[in-house]
Homo-oligomer: A and B are copies of this chain.
Amino acid sequence: MVCKIKVGVIGYGTIGKRVADAVMLQKDMELAGITGHSYNWRMDIAHKKGIKIFNAAEEGNPFAEVGIDVVDGIPELVKQSDIIVDCSPKKIGAENKEKYYLPAKRKAILQGGEKDKLVDTSFVAQCNYKDAVGKNYIRVVSCNTTGLARTLHAINQKYGVEEVYATMIRRGADPWDIRHGPINAIVPVLELPSHHGPDVATVLKGMKIFTTAVSISTTLMHMHNVIVDCKKTPTVEETIKLFENTTRVRMVDNSSKIRSTAEIMELAKDLGYARGDMPEICIWKEGIGVHENKLLYMQAIHQESDVVCENIDAIRAAMGFKDGKKSIEMTNRALGIK
């Protein structure tokens, strides 16, 4: 007998559709279904893939007229699942927890748009997997926080981190998003420090990190320019080795003509990653510098995909799978992450 974790995915947008695909690739998981609240091409494709769709429309059945069979309602999906991954827009995850998951006593993974206090732990697998084992509510932090946590955790373990100063240069919108801008401007995010710093500290407890952010005219990845005051003095060569040996982090180099996020996205396609995603945090080899005890580096974050593997590990942790390293290996293998 093979027991698989039945996973329900609520919200089938940028993250939800990727998590659903990733669940289907895990040997120890089975996709119980997804939700849809209105008809669009994503529903068409899910339907053709044979995924069970649960109607989450406020009223009526918008799928009937296009001939897509659906099952009724979020509560039914919750009932048919061992655990839920909630990929709804910001704040809806919190509402869903109250309305559906708590009453049904169902474990759930929430996303980084929700508040840390709603859950038992915030989560980045390679940083604090053990904090999440057996927990009921886990929050996979945002793409930016995930990226900062992955690399800062590695630095902290090797050199000790005194303090971090970082600037997030954020993509204005996702590639498919035709509503948001800017088309041609730099928009300061007037929140000081930006929420990213405190959010990193929900995973790397006690880390002193100060962040600011701007939003710019690109759809291809975020960038982080990071300066770390280290307790021990790092070297460039050692830091390159450190990052090369850190899972879900990829060194890229200008010398192979990776000069921009545009070329990282092309590399991701050439590597054959599904949807041309880049789940690894990319750090430029030539972008690492050391000045006394200060380590400077630049990393690029694929906002659409770096948290997908985290959701998979969070599912295992919540369901009581104790070995974080093993879970990361299983997830990486299934998703083709080297």
Contacts and interface: CB of A to CB of B under 8 A. Distances in A.
A287 interface: no
A104 B263 CA distance: 36
Interface stretch (A190-198, A266-274, A311-319): A266-274
Interface in A185-226: 217, 219-220
A328 B259 CA distance: 38
B178 A259 contact: yes
A275 B276 contact: yes
Interface of A: 17, 39-42, 44-45, 175-178, 183-184, 217, 219-220, 255-260, 262-263, 265-267, 269-272, 274-276
B275 A270 contact: yes
A256 B131 CA distance: 42
Contacts of A184: 183-184
A217 B44 CA distance: 31
Contacts of A217: 183
28 contacts: A39-B255, A39-B256, A40-B257, A41-B256, A41-B258, A41-B267, A41-B270, A42-B270, A44-B256, A175-B220, A175-B262, A175-B265, A176-B263, A176-B265, A176-B266, A177-B262, A178-B259, A178-B260, A178-B263, A183-B184, A183-B217, A184-B184, A219-B262, A269-B275, A269-B276, A270-B275, A272-B274, A276-B276
Please provide the 9 A-B residue pairs with the shortest distance between their CB atoms, ordered closest to farther. Answer: A176-B266, A269-B275, A40-B257, A41-B256, A276-B276, A184-B184, A178-B260, A45-B270, A176-B262
Contacts of A177: 262
B262 A178 contact: yes
A265 B178 CA distance: 12
Copies in the complex: 2
Contacts of A219: 262
A256 B67 CA distance: 13
A267 B258 CA distance: 26
A246 B259 CA distance: 40
A40 B262 CA distance: 15
A260 B275 CA distance: 18
A1 to B, nearest CB: 32
A256 B260 CA distance: 33
Nearest to A255: B39
A217 B262 CA distance: 15
A259 B219 CA distance: 17
Most B-side CB within 10 Å, residue of A220, A265, A267, A270: A270
Contacts of A262: 175-178, 219
Contacts of A40: 256-257
